[in-house]
């Protein structure tokens, strides 16, 4: 089978290919026609069409390809089976290196989010994440706490959510310290939700909501990918990573509605919905992160269906009390060509999950804003939550069906933005 050449052109396609046609064809080449201000979208859309047509191997040819056009081609062309091959256009050595890092790291994120829950246990997620980051630096130490040890060390949220599964829950604590000074200040702590399957627990999800819930570790994949890419790009300050990994299943050992969880920081939480499990595991990671006194805390989680309803799959949702820090992330997202949208988070959201039996319940009162109350719940586990804390609700991590731009499955959106932000922070 011969390889098709793919060319880029700012000129419109000859009219025989249709009005404003995106693609025109010759025997051994296809040309993508784009308008200069819609270049990336057009290239990604064209690449998606080529995959849909069953074209398995292409060569990016001609002079017009640069790093971003190569990357957008790949975003559209890649599918969950990963059965397409690209021979890349010539790039300068720096761009070639950056493309190589993105292909290794962002594709890793897409693959691990798509992976079936059967083969990705909480311990596997923690181990593979530590391994990915270890590929990019030797200035890394890490520790995985799992199973009964979580209970003994009082990581009670992760333990409680995970105890219904035969596969032990796990907490990954990873320290990237290129300063080699064990007392060096920690610039940022990253915390990720790593639910390897979310059945909803006894608040069981309907089948159609459950089918994609292997992707409920997308937040963990996102923070892991971001740290790996930041290290690959040369970040030289200390960053810590916490992944809160567990299965949320139903069994004779599973947690139940009405159970009360007492956290290390003294707060008690009544479980009124076992499907609001993400915030229960993240609370442990956030308490640890907060105890490190880092300059910044960023958590990423596929936390609510509400965020997806608000912004669709096209934006990652951003929630924060800190306007300055939120705007820094939005600036990074523009540089990296990824879409984020800020949702409301205010003090009144912090009292919208009352409980008669504990300090708070784990899900909001009826008719409250789901993504906002979920973020507000997390704020109870950070002392100075008004400053230097960002919460990303990962609405864009996984799509259940294909679009003109994306194949079905994981997108990898957000890795570049967070890597960019991590490099800027001090």
Question: Phi/psi at 394 (nearest 5 deg)?
Answer: -80, 70
Angle at the Cα of 167 (from 163 to 80), degrees rounded to 5?
120
C-alpha–C-alpha distance, residues 240 and 125, integer Å: 17
Q: Do residues 53 and 84 touch, judged by C-beta distance below 8 A?
A: no
Q: Do residues 236 and 307 touch, judged by C-beta distance below 8 A?
A: no
Among 39, 308, 349, 399, binds ligand BES (CB under 6 A): 308
Per CB under 6 A, the segment of 39-47, 48-56, 111-119, 268-276 that binds ligand BES is: 268-276
Catalytic residue among 102, 110, 214, 279: 279
C-alpha–C-alpha distance, residues 329 and 296, integer Å: 12
Among 31, 145, 302, 352, binds ligand BES (CB under 6 A): 302
Per CB under 6 A, the segment of 21-29, 59-67, 256-264, 298-306 that binds ligand BES is: 298-306
Q: Cβ of 401: how many Cβ atoms within 10 Å?
A: 9
Residues that bind Zn ion (rule: CB under 5 A) add up to a total of 6
304 lies in the binding site for ligand BES (CB under 6 A): yes
What radius of gyration do the chain's Cα atoms show?
22
Angle at the Cα of 220 (from 218 to 411), degrees rounded to 5?
30
Among positions 184-223, residues that touch ligand BES (CB under 6 A) are 198, 216
Catalytic residue among 151, 205, 233, 267: 205
Q: Work out the end-to-end distance of the chain between its first and last CA atoms, rounded to an integer number of angstroms.
A: 52
Residue 84's binding partner, choosing from Zn ion, ligand BES, none, with beta-carbon cut-off 5 to 8 A by kind? none
205 is catalytic: yes
Residues that bind ligand BES (rule: CB under 6 A) add up to a total of 14
Residue 369's binding partner, choosing from Zn ion, ligand BES, none, with beta-carbon cut-off 5 to 8 A by kind? none
**Which has the closest alpha carbon to 298: 245, 223, 224, 395?**
223
Among 219, 225, 370, 409, binds ligand BES (CB under 6 A): 370
163 is catalytic: no
247 lies in the binding site for Zn ion (CB under 5 A): no
Per CB under 6 A, the segment of 26-34, 181-189, 254-262, 304-312 that binds ligand BES is: 304-312
C-alpha–C-alpha distance, residues 224 and 169, integer Å: 18
The pattern of x and - marking residues 270 through 289 that bind ligand BES according to CB under 6 A reads: ---x-xxxx-----------
Q: Do residues 118 and 223 touch, judged by C-beta distance below 8 A?
A: no
Among 363, 379, 417, 420, binds ligand BES (CB under 6 A): 363
> Which structure tokens are listed for 140?
């890394």
317 lies in the binding site for ligand BES (CB under 6 A): no
Among 198, 247, 322, 338, binds Zn ion (CB under 5 A): 198
Residue 258 CB-density burial (10 A; 0-12 exposed, 13-18 middle, 19+ buried) = exposed
Binding interface with Zn ion (CB under 5 A): 195, 198, 216, 275, 277-278
Binding interface with ligand BES (CB under 6 A): 198, 216, 273, 275-278, 302, 304-306, 308, 363, 370
Residues tagged active-site: 205, 279
């Amino acid at each position: 089978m011969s390889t098709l050449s793919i060319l880029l052109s700012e000129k419109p396609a000859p009219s025989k290919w249709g009005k404003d046609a995106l693609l025109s064809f010759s025997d051994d080449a296809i040309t993508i026609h784009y308008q200069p201000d819609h270049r990336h979208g057009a290239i990604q859309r064209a690449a998606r069409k080529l995959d849909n047509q069953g074209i398995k191997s292409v060569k990016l040819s001609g002079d017009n390809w640069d790093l971003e056009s190569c990357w957008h081609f790949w975003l559209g062309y890649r599918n969950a089976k990963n059965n397409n091959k690209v021979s890349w256009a010539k790039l300068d050595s720096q761009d070639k290196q950056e493309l190589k890092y993105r292909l290794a790291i962002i594709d890793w994120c897409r693959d691990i989010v798509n992976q079936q829950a059967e083969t990705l246990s909480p311990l596997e997620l923690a181990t593979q994440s530590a391994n990915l980051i270890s590929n990019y630096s030797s200035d890394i130490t890490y520790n995985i706490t799992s199973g009964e040890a979580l209970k003994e060390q009082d990581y009670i949220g992760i333990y409680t959510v995970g105890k219904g599964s035969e596969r032990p829950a796990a907490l990954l604590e990873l320290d990237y310290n290129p300063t080699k000074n064990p007392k060096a200040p920690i610039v940022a702590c990253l915390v990720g939700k790593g639910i390897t399957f979310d059945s909803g627990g006894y608040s069981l999800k309907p089948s159609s909501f459950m089918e994609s819930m292997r992707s409920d570790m997308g937040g963990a994949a996102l923070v892991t990918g971001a740290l790996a890419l930041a290290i690959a790009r040369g970040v030289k300050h200390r960053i810590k990573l916490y992944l809160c990994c567990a299965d949320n299943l139903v069994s004779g050992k599973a947690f139940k509605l009405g159970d009360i969880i007492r956290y290390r920081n003294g707060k008690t939480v009544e479980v009124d919905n076992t499907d609001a499990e993400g915030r229960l595991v993240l609370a442990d990671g956030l308490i640890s992160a907060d105890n490190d006194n880092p300059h910044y805390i960023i958590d990423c989680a596929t936390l609510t269906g509400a965020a997806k309803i608000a912004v669709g799959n096209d934006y990652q949702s951003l929630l924060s009390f800190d306007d300055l820090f939120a705007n820094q992330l939005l600036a990074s997202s523009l540089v990296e060509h990824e879409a984020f949208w800020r949702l409301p988070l205010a003090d009144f959201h912090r009292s919208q999950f009352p409980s008669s039996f504990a300090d708070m319940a784990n899900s909001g009162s009826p008719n409250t804003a789901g993504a906002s109350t979920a973020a507000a719940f997390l704020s109870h586990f950070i002392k100075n939550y008004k400053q230097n804390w960002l919460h990303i609700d990962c609405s864009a991590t996984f799509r259940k069906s294909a679009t003109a731009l994306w194949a079905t499955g994981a997108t990898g959106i957000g890795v570049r933005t967070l890597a960019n932000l991590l490099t800027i922070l001090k």
